[in-house]
Structure 1
Amino acid sequence: MGTALITGASAGLGLEFAWQLATAKHDVVLVARSQDRLDRLADQLRAAAGVHAEVLVADLSDRRDVERVADRLRDQERPVGLLVNNAGLGLNQRFVGGDLAAEEAALDVMVRAVLVLSNAAAGAMVERGRGAILNVASIAALLASGTYSAHKAWVRTFTEGLAVELKGTGVTATALCPGFVHTEFHERGRIDVSTYPEVAWLHAEDVVATALADVRRGTVISTPSIRYRAIAAAARLAPRGAVRAVGRYRRAIESPDTPAE
């Protein structure tokens, strides 16, 4: 894979991707909003793994910043062999009556940036005849849990279509669809998950290891753990009314002060 570019690299799954790729001796391009966090991580990766770690500060809700990252992916003199579209955020709000600007920013980060960066990476990779794109979706893509589910459903379907288009080019596309993972994601989104049992949670190192193994195999949909593969199968087969009922229940326990209906 050579060099890997990881968005949302300063925390959560992105941080774990950076460490696992660097310790496997891949150079990395680290993308996130925090200069301090990225600089600290880059120093740690250089010292611990002996790889080249490049820092690219960007806010992926800003179209100009997205284009700067896209330009880095198009650079054939410094080729990127793996793009990890990981950046994302949770919005602990209802769509009706919620902050529309926050909804638009989330859409920009989790949909538009994935579209633009995948386009830039795929074009450069197809020209070279090799490469891989890993887009982080979610098991929520199969559920009905607000706009986050909609964003991740788009990522999953987009990645499947991209994989079809890339077939035979030497370039692959994989959608990672984890369930709950122990990271900073829910805390940053101020989402209360205290009611969820420990059995529902995955560890970031296991999720990332599974994802990278699936990328190497050219797997299109990567769902870590047997239990979440079973949940995914049930969600695909269940009547949509039942899926919507689960979404209402989740909303009720995550926001108990707000009516679920």
Structure 2
Amino acid sequence: MKTRWVVMVGAIACVASIFAFPAQASGGRLLATGGVTTIEGSAGGGLVPWAVISGYTEDEQWGGTATLSRAQVDDYRLDVTGVSVSYGNRFEVSFARQMFNLENLGAELRQDILGAKYRLTGDLIYGAMPQISVGTQYKRNTQYAIPEAVGSARDADWDVYLAVSRVWLAGPFDRTWLANGTVRATRANQGGLLGFGGDTRDQHELQAELALGMFVNRALAVGVEYRQKPDNLSFAHEDDWTSAWVAWFPSKQVALVGAYVDLGSIAGESGQRGYYLSIQASF
């Protein structure tokens, strides 16, 4: 419990630092400012939704993205297809379908996620105020027998989050940097793949999510993410998630992401580490 509070304080400090150091630049949206697509369909990194709005829309423009992703760890595989529609760099609606293969059991879990995000204020790069967005995700298990058997309390639920993002064009080492802090209210087990709530806890808890990235050049970025998660089921301890990622943006139409992921213990199987790959098309 003490560790969880340390992480929450770190998230607050991250957000405070974002307010403290505004970017020194002016102009329109730049390459990569729409982020990539998370495993839940929202714009951001791989694990964490950021305050960014998907695509590169401005003013009264409409845009969208389509994404295919895979995470492969020791005993499990997650495949995700996702789409999003955005308007005016202000509003985003997304949908993702997750298929989680339990390779050691010969079974599969499935989840659909409908998301919405609204930019409240600020800008990712320009002005004194960082970009601040609020989002929600409605998650529903479409194969619930296994989550119910291990103690899940329900097959569908809502997550709500607040994200703050900032980019510095002339940061340390004369590179462009990005920082994001997200606070999420959730009771999802393993992101919702094992249902919501359980026999240990059955209420929404605040969880911290962090991201930090550096652009090696205009099109190539490296970074890390951390996602805190609740622990609601007595049958197996649930660990937080971390990743170290590389993202390549050859153009505004295409983004490619590769990452090393450490998902900890999943359903009693410890040491779940492996790779994550994603390709995104924007239009």
Compute the TM-score of the two structures, normalised by the length of structure 1: 0.33
Flag the structure with higher strand content: 2
Compute the TM-score of the two structures, normalised by the length of structure 2: 0.31
